[in-house]
C-alpha cells in the first residue's frame, strides 16, 4: 500500500504520523499569517519578523492539535482501549482507536477530553497574554493561539459524526436508548444534516460576496456530509449482517490441487484453460495452504516446471482465518483491515471452507432482497 504519511516518533508507545497534506496546511497557514493576518495587528513590522511569527504559530498550532489527539489517546488507554496510531492530517488529527468503544461512558470520556484539551490550551495561551503584553510579536502569537484553540474546541463540538461532537452526541443517545447501532445511525444522520447546513451556509456566504470563507465553509460541509454519509452506509450494512454467522455465507470452495503438482501444470491446465484464480493446496485430504495468482507470479516463470504448489503457496498458518461461528460483520471488517479478499474458515484446526468478500456481497444482496419484499 502507498504511504502518504511520515512517521515522526512515539508518545506513550503510540506511533505519531504526519500526513503529507499537513505540510500543505502548514505552508498555507504560515503564509496567510505572515502576509495577511499579522501585518494587520503589527503595522510596520519587518517582513522577516512576520514570517518568523507565522512559522512559530504554525508549529505551536501543530503541537496544539497533537495535544488534543493525545488527550483522546490517554483517555482510551485509561479504558484499556488500544490506540494504533495518531495521524495528523489536513483537518487536524485522527487517533486510530481500535474497534468500537466498550461503553457509552467510555466513549463520552474518551471523546470529550479532546475539545477540553483545546479549551485548556486556549486558557493557557490566554493567561500568557498579560506577562507578554510588552512584547508585541509574542503577544500577537499567543492571542492568535488562544483564538484558534478555542475555535478548534468549538468546531469539534459540532454534533455531527465523525467529529468529536458527533461521538459525544452518539454516546449520549446510546446511553439513553441503550442501542449502539441505532445511536450511530442517528448521530451519522445528524452529521449529514450539519454537513448540508454548512454547504448551504457556505453557498449563501459566497453569493453574498464572502467568496473565500463561503467556499471554505461549503468545503467543510462537504467533508462532514460525505464522512457521515459513508458512516450511514456502513451502519446499514452492519445492521443487515448483524446476528449472521460466517457459516451462512461460505461460498463455493476454491478447487483443490495436490501439494506436489508443479506450478506449470496449474498454469496450463487450471488457470489458462478454466480461468481459475485461487486454489487450496492439499495433501492426503489435509489443507496446507492457499495458492493464488499473486503467489504464482512471485516465482519466476522459468522455475514454474520445477516448483510445487506447496513451495509457492501461502501456508494456512500465515493466513488470517475466521471460524464458522464468527460474526459475518467482524469477518468482513477483518478482511478490510488486512487488505485481503478471502479467508479460510477453520473450525479449530479443521478446514471448513473459504469466505470471500464476493460471498459476503452476494449474501448481503440476498438479505436486502428478502427485506424489501
Q: Interface residues with Zn ion (CB under 5 A)?
A: 114, 164
Q: Least distance to Zn ion from the beta carbon of 64, Å?
A: 12
| Nearest residue (beta carbon) to Zn ion | 114
Chain CA centroid to CA 330, Å: 16
**Whole-angstrom Cα distance, residue 23 to residue 86?**
16
Pick 107 or 164: Cβ nearer Zn ion: 164
Q: Least distance to Zn ion from the beta carbon of 118, Å?
A: 8
Q: Least distance to Zn ion from the beta carbon of 112, Å?
A: 9
Q: Least distance to Zn ion from the beta carbon of 104, Å?
A: 18
Residue 304 cell numbers, joined:
514454474
Q: Kindly state the DSSP code that residue 322 receives in the 8-state scheme.
A: B
**Whole-angstrom Cα distance, residue 202 to residue 346?**
53
Pick 109 or 290: Cβ nearer Zn ion: 109
Pick 54 or 101: Cβ nearer Zn ion: 101
Q: Where are the beta strands (DSSP E) in the chain?
A: 5-11, 14-19, 83-89, 92-97, 256-258, 278-283, 286-292, 314-315, 342-347, 350-356
Pick 152 or 328: Cβ nearer Zn ion: 152
Pick 139 or 188: Cβ nearer Zn ion: 188
Q: Name the residue among 180, 184, 329, 356 with its Cα closest to residue 242.
A: 329
Other C-beta atoms within 10 Å of 44: how many? 5
Q: Least distance to Zn ion from the beta carbon of 107, Å?
A: 12
Chain CA centroid to CA 255, Å: 35
Pick 60 or 203: Cβ nearer Zn ion: 60
Regarding beta strands 314-315 and 342-347, do their DSSP bridges make them parallel or antiparallel, or are they unpaired?
A: unpaired
* Strand-pair partners of 308: 262
Q: Least distance to Zn ion from the beta carbon of 68, Å?
A: 5
Pick 118 or 292: Cβ nearer Zn ion: 118
Q: Least distance to Zn ion from the beta carbon of 40, Å?
A: 30
Pick 94 or 326: Cβ nearer Zn ion: 94
Residue 301 cell numbers, joined:
516463470
Query: Are 279 and 254 a contacting pair, CB within 8 Å?
Result: yes
Q: Least distance to Zn ion from the beta carbon of 71, Å?
A: 8
**Whole-angstrom Cα distance, residue 317 to residue 4?**
31
What secondary structure does DSSP assign to 133-180, as a single string?
TT-HHHHHHHHHHHHHHHHHHHHHTSS-TTSHHHHHHHHHHHHHH--H
Q: Least distance to Zn ion from the beta carbon of 114, Å?
A: 3
**Whole-angstrom Cα distance, residue 338 to residue 217?**
35
Amino acid at each position: 500500500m502507498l504511504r502518504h504519511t511520515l512517521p515522526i516518533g512515539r508518545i506513550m508507545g503510540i506511533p505519531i504520523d504526519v500526513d503529507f497534506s499537513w505540510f500543505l496546511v502548514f505552508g498555507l497557514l504560515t503564509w496567510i499569517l505572515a502576509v495577511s493576518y499579522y501585518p494587520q495587528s503589527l503595522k510596520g513590522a519587518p517582513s522577516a519578523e512576520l514570517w518568523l511569527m507565522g512559522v512559530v504559530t504554525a508549529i505551536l498550532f501543530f503541537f496544539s492539535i497533537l495535544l488534543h489527539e493525545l488527550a483522546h489517546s490517554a483517555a482510551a488507554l485509561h479504558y484499556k482501549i488500544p490506540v494504533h496510531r495518531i495521524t495528523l492530517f489536513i483537518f487536524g488529527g485522527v487517533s486510530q482507536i481500535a474497534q468500537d468503544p466498550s461503553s457509552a461512558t467510555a466513549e463520552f470520556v474518551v471523546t470529550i477530553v479532546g475539545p477540553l484539551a483545546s479549551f485548556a490550551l486556549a486558557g493557557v495561551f490566554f493567561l500568557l497574554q498579560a506577562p507578554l503584553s510588552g512584547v508585541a510579536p509574542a503577544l500577537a502569537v499567543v492571542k492568535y493561539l488562544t483564538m484558534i484553540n478555542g475555535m478548534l474546541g468549538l468546531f469539534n463540538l459540532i454534533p455531527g459524526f465523525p467529529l468529536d461532537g458527533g461521538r459525544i452526541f452518539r454516546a449520549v443517545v446510546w446511553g439513553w436508548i441503550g442501542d449502539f447501532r441505532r445511536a450511530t445511525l442517528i448521530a451519522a444522520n445528524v452529521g449529514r444534516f450539519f454537513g448540508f447546513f454548512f454547504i448551504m451556509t457556505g453557498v449563501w456566504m459566497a453569493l453574498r460576496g464572502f467568496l473565500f470563507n463561503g467556499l471554505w465553509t461549503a468545503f467543510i460541509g462537504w467533508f462532514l456530509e460525505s464522512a457521515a454519509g459513508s458512516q450511514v452506509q456502513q451502519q446499514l450494512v452492519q445492521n443487515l449482517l448483524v446476528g449472521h454467522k460466517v457459516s451462512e455465507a461460505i461460498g463455493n470452495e476454491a478447487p483443490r490441487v495436490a501439494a506436489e503438482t508443479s506450478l506449470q501444470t496449474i498454469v496450463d491446465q487450471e488457470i489458462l484453460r478454466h480461468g481459475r484464480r485461487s486454489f487450496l493446496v492439499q495433501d492426503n485430504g489435509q489443507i496446507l495452504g492457499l495458492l493464488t495468482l499473486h503467489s504464482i507470479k512471485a516465482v519466476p516463470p522459468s522455475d514454474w516446471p520445477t516448483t510445487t504448489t506447496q513451495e509457492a503457496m501461502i501456508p494456512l498458518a500465515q493466513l488470517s482465518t475466521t471460524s464458522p461461528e464468527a460474526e459475518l460483520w467482524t469477518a468482513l471488517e477483518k478482511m478490510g483491515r488486512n487488505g485481503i479478499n478471502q479467508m479460510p474458515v477453520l473450525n479449530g484446526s479443521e478446514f471448513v471452507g473459504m469466505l470471500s468478500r464476493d460471498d459476503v456481497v452476494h449474501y448481503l444482496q440476498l438479505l436486502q432482497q428478502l427485506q424489501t419484499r
